[in-house]
Structure 1
Amino acid sequence: TGAEVIVTSSSREKLDRAFALGADHGINRLEEGWVERVYALTGDRGADHILEIAGGAGLGQSLKAVAPDGRISVIGVLEGFEVSGPVGPLLLKSPVVQGISVGHRRALEDLVGAVDRLGLKPVIDMRYKFTEVPEALAHLDRGPFGKVVIEF
């Protein structure tokens, strides 16, 4: 609670869905520079916490947009496993850049317990039958909004 959520996407439809889920701001990356817009929305401070899902050169944009002493959590590699970015913001802002990976069993149990207590519901974009695995994988390639579920 208390977070002001800014979502970036190249899809108006996905931004609308993010608003429906409670996002405070949406930035269409195709229509404006998202780093500049983050600064405008934060009074020139930058974002305190960025979830970096693109990887690749996207990390460079996140380094520009992060606030001093902020955090960038790298949780995806949509643009490739090699990440790159300018060293200036890294040296001047001292952000924490961390990779997110699968934790141990106890961490998963704690997470599941928190999800149950809070009543969180996952966003499911589409459900497929087991016989439709190729279609489900193609959906993943198109960039779903939420989870793609394969039912057995």
Structure 2
Amino acid sequence: MAATLAVPAAAPALAEGRFAVIPKRTIYPGEQLDASALEEVAVTNPNIAPGYAERIDAIDGKVTTRTLVAGRIILVSSLREPFAVSRGKTVRLVFRNGPLLITASGSPLDDAAVGDLIKVRNLDSGVIVSGTVMEDRTVHVVAK
């Protein structure tokens, strides 16, 4: 009976099914993560700090902000979404106010991911406006 009680207490992390994602090779800042370069391993250290990636599908496609060493856990704070728009590349500006819809070409002043608020120069007028980057890579201009 004592042996039966000792087994569950000796492996609480495995009983919970906790996993951590580790890179198979060193991954450098600015690289986009690919599932083939990652591996899920069982967490055996009960004192591991929170904030690490637990599933490959949750971080696949994200971009690293620091070097990820092979065999070490990946902290979620060291990842970011890929940029949807790039500085200097032409984007479509969209302003909508009720039935009024205005579109123009613009040039972002910074790189930005979906949901970021950025400044964009209107290519026709030269005016700098602020807007939110959308999934379709357009920038929805906010009214002043």
Category of TM-score, reference length = shorter chain: under 0.3
State the TM-score, normalized to the length of structure 1: 0.20
Structure with greater proportional helix content? 1
State the TM-score, normalized to the length of structure 2: 0.21
By relative contact order (CA 8 Å, sep 6+), the higher-ranking structure is: 2
